Structure 1
Amino acid sequence: MPSFKAALSKPFAKYVAKRIQKWSSKPIETQQKVFENLISEATHTAFGKDHNFSAISTYADFQSKVPIRDYEELKPYVERVVAGEEDILWKGKPIYFAKTSGTTSGAKYIPITKESMPTHVEAARNAILMYIHETGNSKFVDGKMIFLQGSPILEEKHGIKLGRLSGIVAHYVPKYLQKNRLPSLKTNCIDDWETKVEAIVDETINEDMSIISGIPSWVQMYFEKLVEKSGQNVGDLFKNFNLFIFGGVNYEPYRAKFENLIGRKVDSIELYPASEGFFAFQDKQNERGMLLQLNSGIFYEFVEADHFFEDNPKRLTIADVKLSVNYVMIISSTAGLWAYNIGDTVEFTSLKPYRVIVSGRIKHFISAFGEHVIGKEVEQALKEATEGTSISVNEFTVAPQISPEEGLPYHEWLIEFENEPDNLDELIIALEQSLQQQNSYYLDLIKGKVLRPLLVTKLKRWISNLYEIDWKIRRSK
């Protein structure tokens, strides 16, 4: 017999699914309402006054008055918010700062407001409810759940709490899940990740785990330690573990490794959360892509990645996007981010409803010679080249070798193998063929003898750790 909680989840999931269907079936109208609300609410902020929001009545007006910015360009406004000023980017003060790593100026402080915070929580909840609605499976809500995340201990800056997004969200786990949730608060507050994972293993190894959630690289370490300590596959150790929830990075490079560690296939839900907003989640098990959250206080714009670095690239709304085109995603939101470049590139897999996959980072590409090789293409090449083989990869990165001691320039792949290829040359040929098929710019440069075919350098584990690689592709300078 299912518990009362499991039984109640089904009608609630049905209710949420109807609400989602209502706005997702009217995407243009939904985004227009979000746009109008954002402009109206922020008209009297410092940013709104500086950009004459009172004169904005159309998207064309917005485009002409609000240029695309990244964090560095928005930073003067953010610094005023951090200093304690009110009504700068959004009305009042934010309730949190999500602290993230910056590339050129140290830490970044992303505001989270009382209007934007609920969208993070609701989207994560709705992802699980949509799974229940589709599959009818709700038994897992009675088992133990683990969400591998950052420390929930928050600092404070001028009366505003700050911490990692996952640590902030930890404070919003619903009460009805608290009894099922692991690890303990004491363990969750451990800063050192190695120590924390060991403590999590000790707390969970004898529990009935049904949901496991986290960034794949974090979860992989947890699984490896579970297998090492128990001598069993994760799927045998946790017989009722049937749902893996993940986000943060592309899962495909991890999939084979996870299936080996688990020992069987489990259902999964992909999420697309970020400090700047919760953008999408997987709403169907057999559909490629994640449902774009058009009703979450976020107005989306898109710029074709191939043209992004041109002067005044064309900005599009969802009404104008096409399938299978690589777009840089730009957002304006109730967190007070305006025409903000989050740095991600996405592709649409469906327009009815709007579903996306994350194809990479606009800064994570190689174009030292105009080849425009993006992270997604590199990951796809590695997947195709190793599929059906015994080759297993732990970490990798790719960078251009611009001035080799001899011969033409080339792309160098630095790979740490779990299981090495029997024939490295065959792997190189397969990688090269896949890249040439995916990317016509790269193919033309090879044919034109501007580049020579790629090379692979094998790395030992201790060397790759120094690079701190997490399946990311370095941008050529």
Structure 2
Amino acid sequence: MISLKSALAKPFAKRVYKKTQKWVNKPVETQEKVFKELIATASSTIFGKDHDFISINSYKDFVKRVPIRDYEALKPYVERVVAGEENILWKGKPIYFAKTSGTTSGSKYIPITKESMPSHVEAARNAILMYIHETGNAKFVDGKMIFLQGSPILTEQNGVQLGRLSGIVAHYVPKYLQKNRLPSWKTNCIDDWETKVDAIVEETLPEDMTIISGIPSWVQMYFEKLQHKTGKKVGDIFKNFNLFIFGGVNYEPYRAKFENLIGRKVDSIELYPASEGFFAYQDKQNEKGMLLQLNSGIFYEFVKADTFFDENPERITIKDVEVGINYVIIITTNAGLWAYNIGDTVMFTSTKPYRVIVSGRIKHFISAFGEHVIGKEVEQAMQEATVNSNIRVSEFTVAPQINPLEGLPYHEWFVEFENEPENISALAKKIDQSLQKQNSYYFDLIDGKVLQPLKITIVQKGGFQNYMKSIGKLGGQNKIPRLSNDRKIVDLLG
């Protein structure tokens, strides 16, 4: 028998789909409208006055007046907002600060305003509704759903609530989902990640879980604990679990491991959320890439990643982007971030509609020898090398070995295996061939005998979790960088 809730989900999903198509079919006009509204709304703010918003009549004017900034460069303005001043980056005061742990600048305080908050909630909801519209599957809305996330406990700073983004969003779960949602408030508030996951295992075991959501590496930890406790596959524990929702990292390196832990294939939806905005979500099961949110109070600019560190790199809008090029994504938002570099790189998989994949971080690359290898390339190389094999990788990261004890320098891959391959050097060779195929600079360096082919160093089981624990970043939204230009991470891997 169909429940009322799942019966109502389908017409609601259809309505959201139609509404979405309106802006999907007018992408450039939608972005121009967002741009004009942002400039008009903030022209009387301190930032608006400092950058002469009143005389900005075109995107060209904006580029002249507003330089690209990262958090460090925007910090003098943010500090005034944190101190309680009004009308600095956006009208009035923000309603929240999403506190994130920056790698270089300590804690970051990212403003969330009453205008920007709804898009954080609606985009996640719409991703599920688009899935229902496409597949006709709405049965899961009657089961229990879980999102592995940070604590919802908020503190206050000069009249503004402060917390992790996932904790803030927890306060906006719609009433009709409250009864279905796990973990309980009490469990969600546990700070220690391992204790929290243990409590989540106890709470979810007797339930009919239909949706499980979170960053793959931390969901993997939850799955492993479930399996350890019961001796069963996750899909046997939760017979109706058929939808995995994830964001933050590429799922492909984890897919084989997950299917083994679950015991079968399940549908998945990829999200691209950040404290600075909810940028994209997967809108089609069989299309690569996520639908860029063009109508959510965010104006996007793009800079080719290989020109980003030039003196004056060219900035473009969506109408000039091309498929398959690695771009740094720059955002201007109704939370008061202006030409802001969030540090991510993306590639377009389609421009009709505009869909993206996250290809890495502009700071997370290896170019110790001029090769500029990026996250997407190492993940694809690992995937190609292990596909159709029984090799399962738990986690990996890559660093340059500039001063080897003998021979030429090389890329060193630190890999934690679920089950180790019989022939490590054969796997290394496959990965290396894939990387050479994808990256012509890397190929030239190997071919020209500047580098020797990559080598794999096996990390003991639990090594990556122990590393994250040792730096105080176990759990939540924290993730291991896929690659680094130095050996700071790998020197700490036990």
Task: State the TM-score bracket (shorter-chain normalisation).
Answer: over 0.9
- How far the C-alpha of 1:475 sits from its partner, in A, is 2.9
Aligned to 2:471: none
- For residues 405 and 194 of structure 2, what CA distance do their matches in structure 1 show? 40
Aligned to 1:6: 6
- How far the C-alpha of 1:351 sits from its partner, in A, is 0.7
- How far the C-alpha of 1:403 sits from its partner, in A, is 2.4
Give the superposed CA RMSD: 1.2
Residues 396 and 415 in structure 1, CA contact (< 8 A), matched pair in contact too: yes
Q: What is the correspondence of 1:69-468 to structure 2 with a 5 Å cutoff?
A: 69-461=69-461, 463-468=463-468
Unaligned residue ranges in structure 1 (runs of 5+)? none
Determine if the alignment matches structure 1 residue 475 to structure 2 residue 484.
yes
- For residues 465 and 207 of structure 1, what CA distance do their matches in structure 2 show? 27
Q: After the TM superposition, which segments of 4 or more aligned residues of structure 1 sit over 3 Å from their partners? A: 462-467
- For residues 257 and 193 of structure 2, what CA distance do their matches in structure 1 show? 21
Residues 301 and 331 in structure 1, CA contact (< 8 A), matched pair in contact too: yes
- For residues 459 and 17 of structure 1, what CA distance do their matches in structure 2 show? 45
Residues 305 and 327 in structure 2, CA contact (< 8 A), matched pair in contact too: yes
Judged with a 3 Å threshold, the aligned counterparts in structure 2 of structure 1 residues 470 and 118 are, in CA distance, closer, same or farther, namely: closer
- SS of 1:9's partner is helix
- How far the C-alpha of 1:471 sits from its partner, in A, is 4.5
- For residues 292 and 341 of structure 2, what CA distance do their matches in structure 1 show? 17
- For residues 137 and 426 of structure 2, what CA distance do their matches in structure 1 show? 44
Give per-residue Cα distances to partners, 1:39-92, cap 9 Å, x unaligned: 000101111111111110100000011111111111111111111111111111
Residues 392 and 418 in structure 1, CA contact (< 8 A), matched pair in contact too: yes
- SS of 1:473's partner is coil
Residues 395 and 470 in structure 1, CA contact (< 8 A), matched pair in contact too: no
- For residues 212 and 243 of structure 2, what CA distance do their matches in structure 1 show? 7
| Residue type at the aligned position of 2:95 | I
- For residues 256 and 332 of structure 1, what CA distance do their matches in structure 2 show? 37
The sequence identity of aligned pairs, in percent, is 76
- How far the C-alpha of 1:240 sits from its partner, in A, is 1.0
Number of matched residues?
477
Mean CA deviation greater in 58-67 or 439-448: 439-448
- How far the C-alpha of 1:404 sits from its partner, in A, is 2.5
- How far the C-alpha of 1:462 sits from its partner, in A, is 5.0
- How far the C-alpha of 1:463 sits from its partner, in A, is 4.1
| Residue type at the aligned position of 2:390 | S
Determine if the alignment matches structure 1 residue 61 to structure 2 residue 70.
no
- For residues 433 and 271 of structure 1, what CA distance do their matches in structure 2 show? 31
Aligned to 2:489: none
Judged with a 3 Å threshold, the aligned counterparts in structure 2 of structure 1 residues 98 and 30 are, in CA distance, closer, same or farther, namely: same
TM-score by length of structure 1 reads 0.98
Residues 425 and 455 in structure 2, CA contact (< 8 A), matched pair in contact too: no
| Residue type at the aligned position of 2:485 | S
- How far the C-alpha of 1:461 sits from its partner, in A, is 2.8
- For residues 460 and 141 of structure 1, what CA distance do their matches in structure 2 show? 40
Residues 375 and 483 in structure 2, CA contact (< 8 A), matched pair in contact too: no
Give per-residue Cα distances to partners, 1:237-271, cap 9 Å, x unaligned: 11111111111111011101110111111111111
Residues 152 and 168 in structure 1, CA contact (< 8 A), matched pair in contact too: yes
Aligned to 2:22: 22
- How far the C-alpha of 1:406 sits from its partner, in A, is 3.1
| Residue type at the aligned position of 2:308 | F
Mean CA deviation greater in 393-402 or 19-28: 393-402
Aligned to 1:50: 50
TM-score by length of structure 2 reads 0.95
- SS of 2:249's partner is coil
Residues 289 and 349 in structure 2, CA contact (< 8 A), matched pair in contact too: yes
